Amino acid sequence: MADADEYGAQVTKQGSLVRQLKKDGAEPEKIKAEVDKLKNMKGELEKLLKAQSASEPQLNRAAFDQMLVRKFFVVPSFEIHGGVAGLFDLGPPACGLKANILNMWREHFVLQENMLEMDCTNLTPHNVLKTSGHVDRFTDLMVKDDVTGVCARADKLLEDAIDHLIDNNPTMSQAEKDEHLLIQRQADAYKPEEIDVLLKKYDVKSPEGNPFGASFPFNLMFKTTIGPEGTSDAYLRPETAQGLFVNFKRLVEYNAGKLPFAAAQIGLGFRNEISPKGGLLRVREFCMAEIEHFCDPNDKAYPRFELVKDKVLTLFSSDNQLSTGKTEQMTIGEAVGKKMVDNETLGFFLARTQIFCERIGMDPARIRFRQHLKTEMAHYACDCWDLEVKTSYGWMECAGHADRSAYDLTVHAKATNTDLVATKMLSKPQTVEIAKIKLNRKQLGMVFKAEQRAVANAIDDLAQSWANFEPFAAKLEADGKAEIAGFEVTKDMFSYEKKNKTIHEVKYTPSVIEPSFGIGRILYSLLEHCFDIRENDEQRTFLKFKPVVAPIKVAVLALQKDKQFEPIISDLKASLMDLNLSSRIDDSTASLGKRYARADEVGIPFAITVDFDTVSSSTVTLRDRDTMQQIRAKISDIVGLLKALCTEKMVWEDVVAKYGLVAGADEEGEEGEKKPQGKTFIQSTGRGRFSRPTVV
Amino acid sequence: MADADEYGAQVTKQGSLVRQLKKDGAEPEKIKAEVDKLKNMKGELEKLLKAQSASEPQLNRAAFDQMLVRKFFVVPSFEIHGGVAGLFDLGPPACGLKANILNMWREHFVLQENMLEMDCTNLTPHNVLKTSGHVDRFTDLMVKDDVTGVCARADKLLEDAIDHLIDNNPTMSQAEKDEHLLIQRQADAYKPEEIDVLLKKYDVKSPEGNPFGASFPFNLMFKTTIGPEGTSDAYLRPETAQGLFVNFKRLVEYNAGKLPFAAAQIGLGFRNEISPKGGLLRVREFCMAEIEHFCDPNDKAYPRFELVKDKVLTLFSSDNQLSTGKTEQMTIGEAVGKKMVDNETLGFFLARTQIFCERIGMDPARIRFRQHLKTEMAHYACDCWDLEVKTSYGWMECAGHADRSAYDLTVHAKATNTDLVATKMLSKPQTVEIAKIKLNRKQLGMVFKAEQRAVANAIDDLAQSWANFEPFAAKLEADGKAEIAGFEVTKDMFSYEKKNKTIHEVKYTPSVIEPSFGIGRILYSLLEHCFDIRENDEQRTFLKFKPVVAPIKVAVLALQKDKQFEPIISDLKASLMDLNLSSRIDDSTASLGKRYARADEVGIPFAITVDFDTVSSSTVTLRDRDTMQQIRAKISDIVGLLKALCTEKMVWEDVVAKYGLVAGADEEGEEGEKKPQGKTFIQSTGRGRFSRPTVV
């Protein structure tokens, strides 16, 4: 089959041939022949484009969204009061799913890597976020409808305009398309004056057709005040990270002074999004899980990197984004080796994130890591890779992995006049030239009062290296005064002499590597990736949650209403509870097949059915959601099997191998026949829930 | 020993005798004799009071607070930036402790009672909290220092003034004392004009000695706005409950329409406290765990009440608070039977809360349930009992258990014109008289436009009972118009006729019973209750966390630094991780005794030590923190033992019975001898960590 992109280029060529013929005044028959050919080609192209999109995973978003609300996974917050854009509540099944994902995250990252977990406050005073740069720079560019006063995000308008342009020009050449897509990819990195030009170029108007005013930065933090006097400005934290940075001193002490180490935090973040769309993917209040890994800026090796180096990732480097537009499959070892990924620590976390996504049951074919463009990154950042997950909304950022260098600790240290440093023992003592300072404290105190300590510290810091100190000293000798850290000091404030000093350790400000996860987005993506439809039955949807994340592990059913089943079911429920296995009893009068379907629909991986054989032989059937196969075993065995299945000590195939299938079990609803496996509309990856989890 | 209260009354009597003698101009010798007697009596009284307070549990708060910060349990938030009153961060050990407590809470309440857990947003729009009453009434009375402008809470000032008065008058009669204490207990229930009178009576001044202005209500919610236009007022939720109430319709549907059922939520609450003191006990941002149990107002029986009815609680009824001032020990069955506790459901939750507190390791002798005084309760509330826990700050409210009747659902239903009701099948059909309505929709629409549905619903509701409808109809006939739900309707808008109707079910607004837990306060109380000191060694503090809640379950130590121990230790760590048992390797060069002490200090219940026998026989020692006893067993056995100990399938005594103690193990630090058991400064209760948990 021809490639739609290539064929599109031929259509474009044919179109310009027709235009040329018309321009040249060629014979009508000749023109007509070429026009007919062009028409045929356009029809062909349309078919190609349709076929191409059909071969990609498709999701019936309307049906999916309806299912989310109907099954009480996610509902708009304060719905009966009219709701608030960008706020959603999680109902019982999503709440359980989220708790399981967070437990796995904690085990996968915090426990495995011995991270120090903290729980810091959401309310954050002004000075902390002023220091971090959020008060001044945590903004989105906003434009205002000149007529209605309604506000919109400038970058999203630009992105939408480009989508619209491309969608409405199926014959656009790949080259032209690439040009637009390049602009689209950089949409959130433009300055106000740049984006204003682009909005004009793409002729962006408000939905009502009104012009927008010039763009301006809008701060995304929710503001409030603390205390009854109303004078202490504060914000809801936009990220959990700052709480860890300001606690660095205590963290490093707790870790007995050793580096590298990581701190972690699971908690809320708040962003006053300008006009949130995209359901669960752009919300104003969200759960985050963040890691701050502190290390020596000159040594970003990771001791356990060896364990992940052969893990293959789909990487979308900044070079490729600006050239081919294509991703590459590569082991993380190779990517770090050729410096595409800056260092081992960053590489280790990319690989562990990939493994985490697979462990919770995401489709690996819909996961990639995209490197930030230079223009997207803050000036101090070394490298940054986003985990992007493909959903029906396109590729969505679900986690960031940024090497933020020493920026965060440096700004907080400076603003608070606190040492936020680590100490490194030298392998052998070194002799260095320093300036030995003798302060005239009286004079310093008289001039600088409360700030004398800051001045003294600045002089002391500079004096640690004679090479750094000398120019300052020279100026002081020449002018009688000199500036340091914003203060003007005079000769009479201290004396100094050049000395040799033997040092055994050095102090340094650690670099920070920050993997940061948007749990809400991961939850949503997982729901999409797990949504499936039974072959030949479009009405029968199911959620193929892996047993380890499924909020409810097992449905407990009776073959039919019968008093004698009741004590068996309540004993069973108690045994399951004892092993911490959540269960749901469905005692409705629906047929067994309907009740299985109902359990499938909310992603319950297993179902136990109590029947008359249970009364005589203490055996029950156990049904697997994905294969719809059943086995029969003693109740006491079944509970143990379930525990093993839900903690990934065993897979369904092991169970079948041991107990054999129940012959002729045909309670599967109206159809009366067993289907082998759900028709997946995701590409098969060979890494389904039957493969054991990759353990690093 | 004489009772200090009684003796105090004698001292007061002697004092008044002396005053009378002076007044009567008695002989100086006689006066002197009585004055000397009075002086002696006062000295005696002081001794009595001292002895009395020493017999109560004492905590060295300074040492304890220092430990909390030093061991990174709790630190002030944003400390390096100067901190914010009422905000605290949890460091790694407290973070782990909190996670374990929440897991137990979830299992104890949500799973055991099949509750529907939700996760609603913290940001809450104005209209929701206006409806709930928080915008108008969620206030504390505040006074302002006339001179400095500093604000303070009126009720706390009154409480402190009474404490101060009593402390400085050791001879005050019990009767007088009781009078003051009664006022103190009602401090937060007074109206502004009442408290102003009391503040004047007790001569309350600001710390600077300035007078305060009149008290006024201050709203405790943090305010912000949502959206870029800044026009949508919102608050940070002061409780999680509202999110559950506004979702009632979906919750009851999810529960297949069945009542009773409970919804639950674990999340944050925010209160802009006026002048927070008391460390972790009065904070501005806190974790809550709330339950909303929905039930028939006419049937508050609880099916599982039978299981808890013999549980003995310490109850402090409102009657006793206003009379004897003493608590009573009583089974919850008796308390509900005599209507001291209003109903079975409320009683069930009180008992379950008591059991939960015992399960996590609180001291039962320091737990009581205090009933709200009539003046403390909202007008709609039926009954309310606080879980109070004794700490070094006195008795602190850690959870509330309120029967809020149908208030919450009623106000939200009214404000949103939504049915928030449940349906009850009648045991046999009933015939009722109703009004059958025929609406003139055209006329209604013309007059009421968008509000026509609200009017129609109001007429319809009234028409469900002829008895209710008749007076309205009579007025309409007489005047041609009548008022309904704030609307004036006229005769031409509908016709009606009286009819009999057979009904099979009735709709009703459920009552809400709300157990609400302050997790931060529970955490703090638990830390105080677990803090202990080794007998004969004041320097050696330890935290006797129960294994099930301990953040780190086991310390892994080597007898000494030795290469051959390293692989054993890392294998051991991996095996523990595999069973989800958190461990800490202490590879410092400190003596084994010191390292045991260090593990005790942060509450690690067990320690494994690898020594030379491990290399030859694969055995290790296992040490129990509380008894400091050790056993020796195969590594493979030890890991299983630990799992059983930490999931309460086994207790230490079982382990000792099976493996026997290690003879002559004397690594316990400098002392070189084994101490049998920590000296507890809490009263012994016979329900320590060696008794199996009460399972209901």
Q: Give the chain A residue whose CA is nearest to the CA of B73.
A: A118
A223–B224 CB contact, under 8 Å? yes
pLDDT at A686 over 60: no
Say what the pLDDT of residue B685 is.
33
Mean pLDDT, rounded, for B434-444:
91
- On average, the pLDDT of chain A sits at 89
B229–A122 CB contact, under 8 Å? no
User: Residue B501 and residue B493: Cα distance in Å, rounded?
Assistant: 23
What phi-psi label fits residue A619: left (phi over 0), alpha (psi between -120 and 50 degrees) or beta? beta
B117–A107 CB contact, under 8 Å? no
How near does any CA of chain A get to the CA of B301, in Å? 21
Say what the pLDDT of residue B340 is.
97
A243–B89 CB contact, under 8 Å? yes
pLDDT at B673 over 50: no
DSSP class of residue B551 equals: S
Q: Hey, what amino acid is at A420?
A: L
Task: Please check whether residue B486 touches A, CB under 8 A.
Answer: no
Identify any residues that bridge with A294 across adjacent strands, giving them in sequence order.
A261, A512
Mean pLDDT, rounded, for B66-84:
94
**In A, residues 53-72, which contact B (CB 8 Å cutoff)?**
72
* Chain B residues closer than 8 Å to A307 by CB: none
Local structure of A648: helix, strand or coil: coil
Nearest to A229 by CA among B379, B580, B128, B275: B275
Is beta strand A606-610 parallel, antiparallel or unpaired with respect to A394-403?
A: unpaired
Question: How many C-beta atoms lie closer than 10 Å to residue B526's C-beta?
Answer: 25
H or E element, residue B387: strand B383-391
Identify any residues that bridge with A602 across adjacent strands, giving them in sequence order.
none
pLDDT at B464 over 50: yes
**In A, residues 118-177, which contact B (CB 8 Å cutoff)?**
118-125, 127-128, 131, 142, 149-151
Task: Please check whether residue B530 touches A, CB under 8 A.
Answer: no
H or E element, residue B430: strand B422-439
Q: Give the chain A residue whose CA is nearest to the CA of B87.
A: A121
**In A, residues 223-252, which contact B (CB 8 Å cutoff)?**
223-229, 232, 234, 236, 243, 246-247, 249-250
Interface test with B, best of A120, A261, A304 (most B CBs within 10 A): A120
Question: How many C-beta atoms lie closer than 10 Å to residue B47's C-beta?
Answer: 13
How near does any CA of chain A get to the CA of B274, in Å? 5
- On average, the pLDDT of chain B sits at 89
Compare CB distances from B116 to A92, A119, A149 and report the shortest one's residue. A92
B254–A91 CB contact, under 8 Å? yes
Task: Please check whether residue A542 touches B, CB under 8 A.
Answer: no
Compare CB distances from A226 to B95, B123, B272 and report the shortest one's residue. B272
* Separation in Å, CA A169 to CA A178, A179, A199, B622: 13, 14, 19, 74
The number of angstroms, rounded, from the C-alpha of A320 to the middle of its chain's C-alpha atoms is 21
A580–B229 CB contact, under 8 Å? no
Secondary structure percentages of chain B, helix, strand, coil, to 5: 40, 25, 35
Q: What tens digit of pLDDT does each residue of B516-565 get?
A: 999 999 999 999 999 998 887 777 889 999 999 999 999 999 999 999 99
Nearest to A534 by CA among A542, A546, A523, A526: A542
Percent of chain A with pLDDT over 90: 65
Mean pLDDT, rounded, for A302-317:
96
Say what the pLDDT of residue B52 is.
61
Please list, residue by residue across A273-296, b when 16 or more beta carbons sit within 10 angstroms of its beta carbon and e when fewer do.
bbbbebbbbbbbbbbbbbbbbbbe
* Separation in Å, CA A206 to CA A154, A199, A211, A328, B683: 11, 11, 6, 38, 72
Q: Give the chain B residue whose CA is nearest to the CA of A245.
A: B78
Q: Give the chain B residue whose CA is nearest to the CA of A113.
A: B577
B418–A80 CB contact, under 8 Å? yes
Cβ atoms B232, B125 nearer than 8 A: yes
* Chain A residues closer than 8 Å to B272 by CB: 226-228
B229–A149 CB contact, under 8 Å? yes
pLDDT at B278 over 80: no
B439 burial via Cβ count (<10 Å: 0-12, 13-18, 19+):
middle
Say what the pLDDT of residue A60 is.
82
The interaxial angle of helices B519-530 and B92-105, nearest 10 deg, is: 110
pLDDT at A1 over 50: no
Q: What tens digit of pLDDT does each residue of A198-256 get?
A: 999 999 998 888 889 999 999 999 999 999 888 899 999 999 999 999 999 999 999 99
- Of A101-110, A163-172, A355-364, the least confident: A163-172
Compare CB distances from A246 to B81, B85, B118 and report the shortest one's residue. B81
Mean pLDDT, rounded, for B347-368:
97
Residue with tokens 């059915």: A609
CA atoms within 13 A on the CB side of A140: 22
* Chain B residues closer than 8 Å to A127 by CB: 81-82
The interaxial angle of helices B519-530 and B61-70, nearest 10 deg, is: 110
Is beta strand B123-125 parallel, antiparallel or unpaired with respect to B88-90?
A: unpaired
Long-range contacts at A648-654 (CB < 8 A, ≥ 24 apart): A648/A547, A648/A548, A648/A692, A648/A693, A651/A689, A651/A690, A651/A692, A652/A624, A652/A626, A652/A627, A652/A690, A653/A690
B123–A270 CB contact, under 8 Å? yes
Q: What tens digit of pLDDT does each residue of A377-431 get?
A: 877 888 999 999 999 988 999 999 999 999 999 999 999 999 999 999 898 999 9
User: Residue A387 and residue A397: Cα distance in Å, rounded?
Assistant: 6
Q: What tens digit of pLDDT does each residue of A591-623 get?
A: 999 999 999 999 999 999 999 999 999 999 999
User: Residue A411 and residue A131: Cα distance in Å, rounded?
Assistant: 6
Full DSSP string of B202-254: TT---TTSPPB---EEEE-S-EEEESTTS-EEEEE-SSSHHHHHHTHHHHHHH
Beta strands in A186-257 (DSSP E): 216-219, 223-226, 232-236
Percent of chain A with pLDDT over 70: 92
Nearest to B642 by CA among B659, B662, B666, B665: B659
Q: Give the chain B residue whose CA is nearest to the CA of A121.
A: B89
User: Residue A395 and residue A528: Cα distance in Å, rounded?
Assistant: 13
User: Residue A587 and residue A564: Cα distance in Å, rounded?
Assistant: 14
Q: Is the pTM of this model over 0.90?
A: no
Question: How many C-beta atoms lie closer than 10 Å to residue A606's C-beta?
Answer: 25
Tell me the pLDDT band of B461, cut-offs 50, 70 and 90.
Answer: confident
A226–B95 CB contact, under 8 Å? no
Task: Please check whether residue B282 touches A, CB under 8 A.
Answer: no
pLDDT at B139 over 50: yes
* Chain A residues closer than 8 Å to B270 by CB: 122-123
The number of angstroms, rounded, from the C-alpha of B327 to the middle of its chain's C-alpha atoms is 19
Q: What is the 3-state secondary structure (H, E, C) of B478-493?
A: HHCEEEECCEEEEHHH
Interface test with B, best of A110, A224, A566, A594 (most B CBs within 10 A): A224
B402 burial via Cβ count (<10 Å: 0-12, 13-18, 19+):
buried
**In A, residues 565-604, which contact B (CB 8 Å cutoff)?**
577, 580, 582, 588
Say what the pLDDT of residue B690 is.
32
Phi, psi of B677 (to 5 degrees): -160, 145
Q: Give the chain B residue whose CA is nearest to the CA of A588.
A: B256
Q: How is residue B434 written in tokens?
A: 């109703």
Task: Please check whether residue A85 touches B, CB under 8 A.
Answer: yes
Tell me the pLDDT band of A671, cut-offs 50, 70 and 90.
Answer: very low
B588–A122 CB contact, under 8 Å? no
pLDDT at A99 over 50: yes
Please list, residue by residue across B587-598, b when 16 or more beta carbons sit within 10 angstroms of its beta carbon and e when fewer do.
eeeeebeebbbb
How near does any CA of chain B get to the CA of A11, in Å? 45
User: Residue B259 and residue B424: Cα distance in Å, rounded?
Assistant: 8
Long-range contacts at A453-462 (CB < 8 A, ≥ 24 apart): A453/A417, A454/A417, A454/A485, A454/A487, A455/A484, A455/A485, A455/A487, A455/A489, A455/A493, A457/A417, A458/A484, A458/A485, A458/A487, A459/A484, A459/A489, A459/A494, A462/A435
A122–B85 CB contact, under 8 Å? no
* Chain B residues closer than 8 Å to A86 by CB: 226
Say what the pLDDT of residue A3 is.
62
Tell me the pLDDT band of B122, cut-offs 50, 70 and 90.
Answer: very high
Residues 6+ apart with CB under 8 A from A494: A437, A438, A439, A440, A444, A459
Compare CB distances from A247 to B82, B89, B418 and report the shortest one's residue. B89
DSSP class of residue A122 equals: S
User: Residue B577 and residue B568: Cα distance in Å, rounded?
Assistant: 14
Interface test with A, best of B77, B100, B121, B229 (most A CBs within 10 A): B121
Task: Please check whether residue A102 touches B, CB under 8 A.
Answer: no
How near does any CA of chain A get to the CA of B408, in Å? 14
Say what the pLDDT of residue B51 is.
67
Task: Please check whether residue A307 touches B, CB under 8 A.
Answer: no
A236–B247 CB contact, under 8 Å? no
Task: Please check whether residue A222 touches B, CB under 8 A.
Answer: yes
Mean pLDDT, rounded, for B258-286:
91
Say what the pLDDT of residue B9 is.
63
Q: How is residue A365 written in tokens?
A: 């074919």
B78–A124 CB contact, under 8 Å? yes
ipTM > 0.85 (yes/no): no
Q: What tens digit of pLDDT does each residue of B217-253 get?
A: 999 999 999 998 888 999 999 999 999 999 999 999 9
The interaxial angle of helices B154-167 and B174-185, nearest 10 deg, is: 170
Local structure of B161: helix, strand or coil: helix
Compare CB distances from B81 to A125, A149, A249 and report the shortest one's residue. A125
* Chain B residues closer than 8 Å to A577 by CB: 111-112
* Chain A residues closer than 8 Å to B92 by CB: 116-118, 254
- Chains A and B form CB pairs within 8 A to the count of 200
Cβ atoms B397, B353 nearer than 8 A: no
Residue with tokens 């010798």: B29
